[in-house]
Amino acid sequence: DAGITQSPRHKVTETGTPVTLRCHQTENHRYMYWYRQDPGHGLRLIHYSYGVKDTDKGEVSDGYSVSRSKTEDFLLTLESATSSQTSVYFCAISRTAGNTIYFGEGSWLTVV
């Protein structure tokens, strides 16, 4: 298994509260990604990072921010959670861009 740890694995939060999901890797891969997965929409890229402090938006970035201060950690923050952000969030890593990526086990977030 790829050395990817997501935390928390499950969280229930209230609308309007901030939430941070953490992804930690031990593979020293350059690229890290945050996806969300929803029924009927498949996997959608939120943000990605191509190096420390280098990040860019994906296709569904509104309402999310990210930070990468170290190679091994990629944080996803919901500044003010909304019910539409209830989803399963997957972190992924890759050694090179646009090539094989490896996923974490997912973080289930429910916004009530």
Partner 1 sequence: GQQLNQSPQSMFIQEGEDVSMNCTSSSIFNTWLWYKQDPGEGPVLLIALYKAGELTSNGRLTAQFGITRKDSFLNISASIPSDVGIYFCAGPTNAGNNRKLIWGLGTSLAVNP
Q: According to the binding rule CB under 8 A, does residue 97 interact with partner 1?
A: yes
Identify which of residues 14 and 39 has a Cβ nearer to partner 1 in the complex.
39
Rounded distance between C-alpha atoms, residue 43 and residue 94, angstroms? 16
- Using CB under 8 A, pick the residue from 76, 90, 93, 111 that binds partner 1: 90
Q: According to the binding rule CB under 8 A, does residue 56 interact with partner 1?
A: yes
- Using CB under 8 A, pick the residue from 40, 62, 83, 112 that binds partner 1: 40
User: Cα–Cα distances in Å, from 106 out to 16, 36, 54, 72?
Assistant: 22, 9, 23, 17
- Using CB under 8 A, pick the residue from 12, 70, 105, 110 that binds partner 1: 105
Q: According to the binding rule CB under 8 A, does residue 50 interact with partner 1?
A: yes
**Where do runs of H (alpha helix) occur along the chain?**
none
Rounded distance between C-alpha atoms, residue 57 and residue 50, angstroms? 11
How many of the chain's residues bind partner 1 (CB under 8 A)?
22
Q: HSE (CB half, 13 Å, CA atoms) of 90?
A: 15
Residue ranges in contact with partner 1 by CB under 8 A: 33, 40-43, 45, 48, 50, 56, 58, 90, 92, 97-106
